[in-house]
Structure 1
Amino acid sequence: MKDIPDSLAPPQPTRMKMRIVIPLIFIAVVSALLLWGIVRGNWSDAQTRNPASAADGVIAQLLRTTEGRKQMHAAIIVTAPPERVWKVVTDYDHFSDVFPNISASKGVRDPDGLWHLTGEIRSFIGRWPMDLHVRHEESAAKFAASWDEPHGAWKVNRGSWVVTHHGAGETLLEYNLELRVSPFPDFVVRAVLLGQLKPVMKAVANRVERDQPPR
């Protein structure tokens, strides 16, 4: 009997196992990531959770508002007076110091008192022009910068910075964001952005510390 050429020989058992196992592992990983995204992008709290001190770091959550909407919320205690924190979160020309995915940002105050903020937002799911008008409110109780301006693929674009006095030489900084971007599912957008909130808040605190005037 002639020898069977290697090319016609039946596959080795190990090879066959690998051909089955590798796709199964891939499917399991993708399924786990999808499940993680669904849970992370949908699980919401009814109550706002803010840190009690700077030692608590950043607290980020998906918050369910009284109107039934879901918005992302992050908070941090910054060791600096509110005026200095406010100066950083409204320094629109240098927003890339806080948001690494924003480039060429620029803020111009319009005659109606609103700030016109432009730039480009980049992420692994796409690029979008940033064009919105921000309302500033300043009082003895708090500073707030808010916007509600959908445009283009951004079907919902609503958010705010809220800066309030917390204690001696400290500030509570809160960031709220509600975003819907077509054609992506809402839970995907929320899951991705929730992962970016903590670095953003820490970047603000670091920038405030960096800009601290000499004693």
Structure 2
Amino acid sequence: MIKEQNATENPDFQSPNDDTNLEGDLTADADIAALAAKVEVQIQKIAERQRQISAKVQIPQPVEQIWKVLTDYEALPDFLPNLAKSRLIEHPNGGIRLEQVGSQRLLNFNFSARVVLDLEECFPKEINFRMVEGDFKGFSGSWCLEPYSLGEYVGTNLCYTIQVWPKLTMPVGIIENRLSKDLRLNLVAIHQRVEELASKEPYV
């Protein structure tokens, strides 16, 4: 079963009394709220307690700009909402291993989840990741970058997909709802970050 979710179907995203300050800030900023509405989110039920969630957005910048932001792993908490920690750690086989901690409020209590991810970079098309240790039974996914052109303008279709399998102690419905919001917020934040960095680069 696949269902699509958009910003207008997401009452928490547009509520002034939401859990997170960032979501409230997004609502207050009409431009950012309009951008969030353009993020497509799909939720697919893989099994009873397993979900695949995908989010997609168009960014009017070349693939290289988006890649630069996505692979600056330790800077991700500077602009991604609810990501408290992201640090590179030693990989036994010399690959890319990343420890991340997400922190937020769910049902009026603080919720924190830690994952250790192994990443595979396939420049310039995709970044794949899978959990090797953490607070889920399973967690994996990918970033996919696809260039597009509109006349003389070049941009990137950015798609973020995760497959999540929560532990029995985690209500799958709450996790599904929270992660679908997070994916939307993350793509909005990445869009902003890419545009901000591009505006600071000197014209050639």
TM-score in terms of structure 2 length:
0.69
Q: 1:60 to 1:97 in 2, by over 3 A?
A: farther
What SS class does the counterpart of residue 192 from structure 1 fall into? helix
Cα deviations across residues 65-99 of structure 1 (Å, max 9, x unaligned)? 7xxx6310000000100011011111111111342
- Deviation, structure 1 residue 114: 2.5
CA distance in 2, matches of 1:205, 1:160: 17
What SS class does the counterpart of residue 177 from structure 1 fall into? strand
Indicate conservation of the 8 Å contact 1:97/1:207, yes or no. no
Indicate conservation of the 8 Å contact 2:51/2:176, yes or no. no
Give the structure 2 partner of residue 156 of structure 1: 138
Structure 1 unaligned residues grouped into runs of 5+:
1-42, 47-53
TM alignment of 1:1-215, pairs within 5 A: 44-45=2-3, 57-63=38-44, 70-107=51-88, 110=91, 112=93, 114-125=95-106, 126-138=111-123, 142-167=124-149, 168-182=153-167, 183-212=169-198, 213-215=201-203
What SS class does the counterpart of residue 76 from structure 2 fall into? helix
CA distance in 1, matches of 2:37, 2:170: 33
What SS class does the counterpart of residue 133 from structure 2 fall into? coil
Indicate conservation of the 8 Å contact 2:121/2:128, yes or no. yes
Identity %: 23
Tell me which stretches of 4 or more aligned residues in structure 1 moved more than 3 Å: 108-113
CA distance in 1, matches of 2:51, 2:60: 29
Cα deviations across residues 44-66 of structure 1 (Å, max 9, x unaligned)? 249xxxxxxx897211111357x
Indicate conservation of the 8 Å contact 2:116/2:134, yes or no. no
Structure 2 counterpart of 1:185, one-letter code: P
What SS class does the counterpart of residue 125 from structure 2 fall into? strand
Give the structure 1 partner of residue 26 of structure 2: none
**Number of aligned positions between the proteins:** 160
- Deviation, structure 1 residue 210: 0.7
- Deviation, structure 1 residue 192: 1.3
Indicate conservation of the 8 Å contact 1:78/1:172, yes or no. yes
What SS class does the counterpart of residue 2 from structure 2 fall into? coil
Structure 2 counterpart of 1:134, one-letter code: L
CA distance in 2, matches of 1:83, 1:112: 27
Structure 2 unaligned residues grouped into runs of 5+:
5-34
Once the two structures are overlaid, the 10-residue window that deviates more, 187-196 or 113-122, is: 113-122
TM-score in terms of structure 1 length:
0.65
Relative to total residues, which structure has the larger strand share, 1 or 2? Answer: 2
CA distance in 2, matches of 1:75, 1:130: 23
What SS class does the counterpart of residue 80 from structure 2 fall into? coil
Indicate conservation of the 8 Å contact 1:44/1:70, yes or no. no
